[in-house]
Amino acid sequence: MPEYTQKPTIADVVRYYDETRFDYDKVWLNKDNLAVHFGFYDENAHSHSAALLNTNRVLADTANIGAGDRVLDAGCGKGGSSLWLAAERGARVTGITPVASQITDCQHFAEERGLTDRTDFVQASYTDTPFKSESFDVIWACESVCHAPDKADFYREAGRLLRPGGRLIMAEYIRCDRPLPPAQDKKIADWLNRWAIADIDTALEHRAYADAAGFSEFEIHDYTKYARVSLRNLHRQSVRYRTLGNVLNFFGIRSDTQHGNHIGSIYQWEALEAGAWFYGVVVGVK
């Protein structure tokens, strides 16, 4: 697996997503959802594909995103959420990611769906964007802030970019405590080190960053029960093909990064079951 002797850099994150494109394309998402995230199962969604789209609906409803809202999709992946927000909510969406190959994907799918007039995509880091202050009504970050080495940097930039009264909506992995018992900390490290994530932070740490960035309202809700089926399904699939993955990695057919992504999916579930983290939906108002 890739070993990070210090915090993963943007270059490490780019390499991770470039090398795991096959995994996401063939194993997880489809062209309807383009989702590089987990799905929410509830009364509206009972299948994998429906749950992935349902995550967009739940987050958009929570942030009250509607027609005309100017949204920054911070860590947009292949553009699935950006395109959904433009098509289903009439929002004007800018997606950003440091991964050039993802920008190419986003632009292709926007053209294919006739959404180039309501979306644009920029290669950039969400901790240091090229946009003017108070440019957006909503900052959207779906399972992306985890990759920031210092989450406070993301909150500062989000606070700068939001107009007064603007909303922050995030789906994020939240550490249950710091420190954790050594066995739980090891489970988290074994997962994160394989996904180019330096660390995940506690709810109190997130709240401190939000307060410092000028958010007057801030809440974190535990959505693990809605994401649990999706998380469990990834774990089961990863365990099922673990031996094959070991063989393919041994013979160089799958890279260390690809294999690490696979094995990290096993440790993610084990860390969840050990009580080391939970799946949070984060809401803030500037």
Q: Which positions are catalytic?
A: 143
Cα 54 to Cα 191: distance, rounded to the nearest angstrom: 25
Other Cβ atoms within 10 Å of 264 Cβ, number: 20
Cα 268 to Cα 21: distance, rounded to the nearest angstrom: 19
What six digits make up the tokens of 142?
């779906």
> Does residue 284 contact residue 164 with C-beta atoms inside 8 Å?
no
Which residues share a beta bridge with 73? 95, 140
Cα 179 to Cα 181: distance, rounded to the nearest angstrom: 7
Which residues share a beta bridge with 128? 125
